[in-house]
Structure 1
Amino acid sequence: MLDNFTVQEHPRLLSSWKGGEDATLWILSDERAAVLTVDIITPVVDDPYTWGQIAAANSLSDVFAMGGRPLLALNVVGFPINCLPLDTLSAILEGGMERATKAGAIMAGGHTVEDDEPKYGLVVYGEVALNEIWRTTGARPKDKIILTKPLGTGVFSTALKADLLSKEEEEVMISQMMSLNDLPLYLPQEVRRKVHACTDVTGFGLIGHLLNMLDENIDIRIEAKRVPLLAGVTEKISMGLVPAGAYRNKDCYKSTGKVTGLESLDENLEDALFDPQTSGGLLLAVDPDVEDVILDVARKKGFVGSNVIGEVTEGKGKVKIN
């Protein structure tokens, strides 16, 4: 579809919809760039305040994935005004404001439309130093691959809809989805500059986002048993609680010929690697000199499941699963 559109170019435009980056980058000065993104989702939990928090965290994540700091946010809302009370909308917006404020951004307004199904998200504006921008590509041989949140929120969301998720599992899922991916705010400058590539894991699942990080000169090797998973995810998968998006991801990415080694995995673990995430963790390619520092900071800031899951090697643009 995008092939029908002409790529617009400008000397200040560093990234746009062409190229797979998580947000648009616009040069502001010799030292700084603006980061602009928008995201919107349908409800993943019943409580409107909690959903507002999750949707906002999901939207803010793209600025963090570029190494940036969120500064301003605008609400984007679709709401069935004749079916749900305005108190519900108010709670959604309050949840969004709580997360935006927690991230250091100002909620400055927004726009609403009437819709048959509730939808909520944010337009987010942030800034980043030009020499500290994290792009989706740029990983180098010998880099370590770090994932900061366990996989499995897609499976757990499916289990929740089927009333097959325990209260404790639901609380873990919600806590993870509403957690801000604000890791770059806590890393020393010299460490941020040794992050060579980054993206956040969302609807494409881990495998899809790893493929986005490739270029034709590298391979990414993943040790499947080191990939963090929410406790109970493979058991839920064995019960058939797999979201449709996981099957779409699996069909799409296995057909590229760029993913090898999946046949050696237990099928439940394989499905988990394709599970679409809501507000998933950061996926980083980092210089091995700083992997321990990043893991230490991440775990101290609440990303307790953070782990090195693989490494980058010279290659021909493949994700290799061991």
Structure 2
Amino acid sequence: MSLLTSSIDLDMIAPPLTESQLQFPASEIDHLAQLFLQVGDTVRPIILRRISPISFEILEGYFEYYAAMKAQEIDDQFTAIRAYVVPPDRELAILSQYQFLRSLSTPLANEKTDSLPITPSERQSDLEKIEQTIEQTIERTIANRLDQKIAATIERIVEEKIGSSFQAMTKQITNQITQQLDIHLSEIKRSLLLTPVTPPVAPPINQIIESSAPPVETILESVTKKPSKSTRTNQPKTRSSGSSPTKSAIKESDPKVIEVLRELNTLNFGDLEYKLLKSRSKKFARPIYELRLQQPDQKFQSILDITKVEGIAEKTILKIIAAW
């Protein structure tokens, strides 16, 4: 807060103690009162403290106050005096400054008193110098206070601007990230909805067995090729479920055959149909599945049991095994 002067009515200033007036010669009070009337006010403001909304108390400037009261007695148009009304939190600092400046002017006054009488013009000159010094000090103080106030205001404005800009930038970045995440999640959901459900693939061991199995043509050639005499002689005779002997190229102990038999007994209808599709035997999926349901306890004991389905012969079984 800047220290500014105000014109205060003399009636609003509480009179000091009567004894304080005795410190100043009456002639000097009369002389200063005449100077007040010539100028219209004092060149050195007095210092006041507010004691109520309509009254003030003198802190410094008793001599000027008595001279102003004397000027009012001489001319009733002189009703006010210029003063500093100090705030309570700065009262001590202002009084210290005032007393320090007054102490600087005291040796000069004592020196002149000891040597020669002080003329009114010299006294006025001293007063002007003191007033000038006070004014300069006050101006410097006001300038420093003003600089501090401006610096604090600028700093506060900068902090507010930076804070608001940071909040806006953070909010914008958060919104952008949220929008991007929403877009990605929507794309993922859409892709999951559009992706068809693929049937389960065979375990890796089946792929190894399938890769090592001979091609279908080789198996068919071995089936259709007539065995030699020695082979027919040495080959043991096997019997099927019927009474007549049959010749079979299917080895029940083959891991491939065991795997096919196991899955024929356990796969659901959809997977079974998919497996038979590879050997172009998809049409047998339904009758094989229904035949399996008719004997749930026994199921297929041998791979040749599926020949009970109409249209499936051993040649068909070999194609199924090769393509499985």
Q: TM-score range by the shorter chain?
A: under 0.3
Q: Answer with 1 or 2: which has the greater Rg.
A: 2
The structure with the greater share of residues assigned to helix is 2
The structure showing larger relative contact order (alpha-carbon pairs under 8 Å, at least 6 residues apart) is 1
The structure with the greater share of residues assigned to strand is 1
> Normalised by the size of structure 1, how large is the TM-score?
0.21
